[in-house]
Amino acid sequence: MTLLRRRKAREFPVSDSELLLFGGALRYDAPFATHQKPLVRMTFWAMARQLPAMVATVARAAWREDPAALLTLLGAELGQGLTRAFGLVAANRVLLALFAAGPTAERLRQALPALLAIAVVTAVSALLSAVSVAAAGQLEPKVERVCTARFYRSAVRVELAALEDKEFHRKLDAGRFGTDSVRLMLSSSVTVVNALVGLAAAAGVLALLHPALVGMLVLIASPKGWGAVVSARRQYASRHAWIEHRRAISVITSTLTSQDSAAEIRVHGAGRMLVDAYDDMSGTVEQEQRRLARAQAATQTAASALSGAAAVAAYGVLWLLLASGGMPLAVAGTAVIAVRSSGASLTALVMQVNRLYEEAMYLGDLEDACAAAERHAIPTGGAPLAAGVTDIRLKKVTFVYPEAATPALCEVTLAVPPGKVVALVGENGSGKTTLSKLIAGLYLPTSGRLTWNGTDVRELDRDQLFDRVAVLSQDFPRWPMTARANVHIGRPGQRLDQARIERAAAEADATDVIASLPHQWDSLVIKGFERGTQISGGQWQRLGSARARYRRAPLLIVDEPTSALDPKAEVEAFQSLRTLTDDGTTVLLITHRLAATATADLIYVLDRGHLVGEGTHEELMAVEGGLYRSMYELQAAQYGIGPDPHSGPARRTGSPHAQPAQT
Ligand SMILES: Nc1ncnc2c1ncn2[C@@H]1O[C@H](COP(=O)(O)OP(=O)(O)OP(=O)(O)O)[C@@H](O)[C@H]1O
């Protein structure tokens, strides 16, 4: 340990190919990587000092989930320690009987009860070991499941605004790597406890037999312990170093057989260059492994030599004690057995302390992430929201993204009348998507008031609000599941209803897409798996639309719902949106296709976060020099159409906002 502590952290060579292809070693940018350097620099004894705290952390987690299993596990481990102590005492009795004076048959008869005791103790120890394995098997997955579920449950309830904070996001991301740490720590803790109890049992028995024997145990075991610590630390540091080279190798080799790079690999000759790079990088790994093996062999030899010298010294003292009559032969024999069995416990202890310390860091991340996620959680409960109605109003709503210099929305005042198609238009970055996210309750206004049915969104029960909203965003999730599950996940709280799924697909014009899949609804819409297939962007858009329709929410927010559709499908998609209002659904439509917004009941025009116009298409077109009119005319000129698009069915009602508010 001192050896590694005194030396500066070893720099491992980077191959020429890594320099050429990656500009140096290929290091992760992931949050867990930040632990690797401190871990390698940490001394063994500093880690060992934290051992009680680490074992206590994992014991607390286990106690919370299954106290009975934890007690069984502890009992079994302590019991094994006791059986080891009894075993040594019994071995001592056997040796006493065997070394006593008298005929051999008599001595054997005298040793028989102790021999039987050894057999019983061995059986009990095996039984306790089985109990320990069973209890650990019950406890480990349970503790892992509960910790993981707690983390993900907290993570999915975090306010969207909190996720904008890079530091918070990093913390949350780091938590993911701690989800299996608690299980690994539990298993390491069991080994550590087992080794400690074993060592304590051996030391206790030896102290009872003769105080000098404890010193002898320490003397012989110390060089072995030193060797184990140095080897474990070196192996650990080396693994972290060559893992970077391994990673670089696997990044390269994965491209060699990939379909995406197949053409360039052949035509450009990239394959030859990458295979040569593989050779070069593997050489670096081999070199590091050779160095490690030589260093480990040297340490092992030094530890064995020291241990041998210590053994000679200790056995010399033993000889003197025996010769002077200060110690019976049987006691010396027992000491030899105890020393030999303690060696294995010591090595296991050293190996697991490193492991425990590393996992404790990840578990610390998990605890931090859960605590942070709970601090930023969307509140549960709040004012109830009446069913169905979607009377939504914004009064002087301003919204600034965390860490943003300027507001995304400035003092926006508008109303979303129920059962209408309301369009949000404006140039890129004008605030349309942000506004829709505020209406959906995903962000809370920085200032101003946003109400649903007269209640401020800050006071509302947000779960009830979410329940009233369906979202079809530009970048809607493409779930790596079956086509059926991709639609059903739109309303996961209700029982899967195949007839409703098919209706939603028909409304979204997705029936033909499903029919064309190799296993229809059971097809996995992800490539590389059995029943898996890849579908096009437009087909995905229809599946996403089916999901939003399956949800059947009073407010449907659609953000560029047709960007991947062909022209015919696009016209049909906009027409079918209008039919949704038949059953009172409010549609909030965000699109740059102004021919489609022209048929909306009400259009809001945004410009750099400000509301600069509202009204029907005709009203907004009547505003000379207005933003809407200029945008529309620009698009119309491209397609050669006039001011009245007639591209979809006419609105069935007049404008709810007769006053154009172009500013
Ligand atoms: N997560 C974010 N963090 C910080 N700023 C953001 C974030 N999302 C959007 N913005 C900024 O807020 C402003 C409004 O963006 P928003 O996405 O609402 O515009 P948009 O009108 O929907 O644009 P587009 O037509 O390109 O989809 C832009 O200046 C954008 O850069």
- pLDDT, tens digit, 9 for 90 and up, residues 83-137: 988 988 888 888 888 888 888 888 888 889 989 999 999 999 999 999 999 999 9
Q: Is residue 59 included in any domain, yes or no?
A: yes
Neighbours of 35 (CB within 10 A): 17
Q: How far is the CA of 587 from the centre of ligand 1 (A)?
A: 21
The residue to which tokens 């995304």 are assigned:
408
Q: How far is the CA of 241 from the centre of ligand 1 (A)?
A: 41
3-state helix, strand, coil in the chain (%, to 5): 65, 10, 25
Is the pTM for the entire model greater than 0.90?
no
> Total domain count for the chain?
3
The last residue of a domain, from among 508, 528, 551 = 551
Pocket test for ligand 1, best of 432, 475, 604 (most atoms within 8 A of CB): 432
pLDDT (0 to 100) of residue 446: 95
* Alpha-carbon gap, residue 277 to 377, rounded angstroms: 48
Nearest Cα neighbor of 367 from 12, 617, 61 is 61
Which amino acid residue places its CA nearest to atom 11 of ligand 1? 408
Q: Whole domain around residue 529: which residue ranges?
A: 481-551
pLDDT (0 to 100) of residue 394: 96
At 138, list the tokens: 């019950």
Q: Which residue has the higher pLDDT, 112 or 236?
A: 112
Residue 569 has pLDDT above 80, yes or no: no
Q: Are residues 80 and 216 in the same domain?
A: yes
Residue 192 has pLDDT above 70, yes or no: yes
**Nearest ligand 1 atom to alpha carbon 560:** 27
Nearest Cα neighbor of 398 from 455, 457, 448, 452 is 448
pLDDT (0 to 100) of residue 31: 57
Q: Is residue 474 included in any domain, yes or no?
A: no
Which amino acid residue places its CA nearest to atom 27 of ligand 1? 428
Q: Are residues 166 and 272 in the same domain?
A: yes
Length of the chain, please? Answer: 663
Q: How far is the CA of 42 from the centre of ligand 1 (A)?
A: 44
Q: In the Cβ-directed half-sphere of 5, how many Cα atoms lie within 13 Å?
A: 9
Residue 44 has pLDDT above 70, yes or no: no
Percent of the chain with pLDDT over 70: 88
First to last CA, the chain: 74
Average pLDDT, the chain: 83
Question: Which pLDDT band holds residue 648 (cuts at 50, 70, 90)?
Answer: very low
Q: In the Cβ-directed half-sphere of 224, how many Cα atoms lie within 13 Å?
A: 20
pLDDT (0 to 100) of residue 655: 40
pLDDT (0 to 100) of residue 240: 65
Helix (H) or strand (E) holding 411: strand 409-416
Which amino acid residue places its CA nearest to atom 3 of ligand 1? 401
Q: Is residue 56 included in any domain, yes or no?
A: yes
Q: How far is the CA of 134 from the centre of ligand 1 (A)?
A: 54
User: What is the CATH number for 218?
Assistant: 1.20.1560.10
Q: Are residues 317 and 456 in the same domain?
A: no
Nearest Cα neighbor of 21 from 245, 296, 325 is 245
Q: Which of 118-122, 183-187, 431-435, 604-608 has the lowest mean pLDDT?
A: 183-187
Measured in degrees and rounded to the nearest 5, phi and psi for residue 369 equal -65, -40
* Alpha-carbon gap, residue 552 to 559, rounded angstroms: 17
Which residues are within 8 A (CB) of 279 and not within 5 positions of it... i.e. 6 or more apart? none
pLDDT (0 to 100) of residue 351: 74
**Nearest ligand 1 atom to alpha carbon 424:** 21
Which amino acid residue places its CA nearest to atom 4 of ligand 1? 401
Judged by DSSP in three states, 122 sits in: helix
Pocket test for ligand 1, best of 169, 398, 401 (most atoms within 8 A of CB): 401
pLDDT (0 to 100) of residue 116: 94
Which amino acid residue places its CA nearest to atom 6 of ligand 1? 401
* Alpha-carbon gap, residue 155 to 162, rounded angstroms: 11
User: What is the CATH number for 449?
Assistant: 3.40.50.300
Mean pLDDT of 574-581: 74
**Nearest ligand 1 atom to alpha carbon 474:** 27
Helix (H) or strand (E) holding 394: strand 392-399
Instruction: List the beta bridge partners of residue 555.
Output: 469, 586
Q: Which residue has the higher pLDDT, 390 or 148?
A: 148
Q: Are residues 188 and 298 in the same domain?
A: yes
Instruction: Report residues whose beta carbon is within 6 angstroms of any ligand 1 atom.
Output: 164, 401, 404, 408, 426, 428-434
Mean pLDDT of 426-440: 94
Pocket test for ligand 1, best of 160, 427, 433, 611 (most atoms within 8 A of CB): 433
Q: Is residue 120 included in any domain, yes or no?
A: yes
Q: How far is the CA of 446 from the centre of ligand 1 (A)?
A: 15
Q: How far is the CA of 426 from the centre of ligand 1 (A)?
A: 12
**Nearest ligand 1 atom to alpha carbon 406:** 29
Q: Is residue 359 included in any domain, yes or no?
A: yes
Q: Are residues 221 and 295 in the same domain?
A: yes
Which amino acid residue places its CA nearest to atom 28 of ligand 1? 429
* Alpha-carbon gap, residue 446 to 401, rounded angstroms: 9
Q: How far is the CA of 406 from the centre of ligand 1 (A)?
A: 11
Q: Is residue 475 included in any domain, yes or no?
A: no
pLDDT (0 to 100) of residue 6: 42
Which amino acid residue places its CA nearest to atom 19 of ligand 1? 429
Q: Are residues 323 and 360 in the same domain?
A: yes
* Alpha-carbon gap, residue 330 to 537, rounded angstroms: 82
pLDDT (0 to 100) of residue 640: 60
Q: How far is the CA of 161 from the centre of ligand 1 (A)?
A: 13
Give the ranges where 8-65 is alpha helix by DSSP (H).
Answer: 16-22, 36-41, 44-49, 51-65
Residue 161 has pLDDT above 50, yes or no: yes
Q: How far is the CA of 591 from the centre of ligand 1 (A)?
A: 14
Residue 547 has pLDDT above 50, yes or no: yes
Question: Which pLDDT band holds residue 24 (cuts at 50, 70, 90)?
Answer: confident
Instruction: List the beta bridge partners of residue 158.
Output: 377
At 627, list the tokens: 């933003």
Q: Are residues 93 and 136 in the same domain?
A: yes
Q: How far is the CA of 116 from the centre of ligand 1 (A)?
A: 80
Q: Are residues 318 and 442 in the same domain?
A: no
Residue 651 has pLDDT above 50, yes or no: no
* Alpha-carbon gap, residue 608 to 537, rounded angstroms: 30
Q: Which of 37-51, 167-181, 296-310, 606-620 has the lowest mean pLDDT?
A: 37-51
Q: Are residues 210 and 256 in the same domain?
A: yes
Q: Are residues 76 and 192 in the same domain?
A: yes
Which amino acid residue places its CA nearest to atom 30 of ligand 1? 429
The last residue of a domain, from among 375, 403, 437 = 375
pLDDT (0 to 100) of residue 561: 67
Amino acid at residue number 434: T
The residue to which tokens 């259009």 are assigned:
603
Which residues are within 8 A (CB) of 465 and not within 5 positions of it... i.e. 6 or more apart? 385, 440, 441, 452, 457
**Nearest ligand 1 atom to alpha carbon 434:** 18
Q: In the Cβ-directed half-sphere of 200, how many Cα atoms lie within 13 Å?
A: 13
Provide the Cα torsion 121, 127, 131, 133; round to 10°: 100
**Nearest ligand 1 atom to alpha carbon 435:** 18
Q: How far is the CA of 449 from the centre of ligand 1 (A)?
A: 20
Q: How far is the CA of 620 from the centre of ligand 1 (A)?
A: 24
Q: Is residue 614 included in any domain, yes or no?
A: yes
pLDDT (0 to 100) of residue 490: 92
Q: How far is the CA of 431 from the centre of ligand 1 (A)?
A: 6
Q: How far is the CA of 424 from the centre of ligand 1 (A)?
A: 14
Q: Is residue 340 included in any domain, yes or no?
A: yes
Q: Are residues 338 and 405 in the same domain?
A: no
pLDDT (0 to 100) of residue 41: 57
Q: Are residues 85 and 196 in the same domain?
A: yes
The last residue of a domain, from among 347, 375, 403 = 375
**Nearest ligand 1 atom to alpha carbon 430:** 21
Question: Which pLDDT band holds residue 4 (cuts at 50, 70, 90)?
Answer: very low
Judged by DSSP in three states, 484 sits in: helix
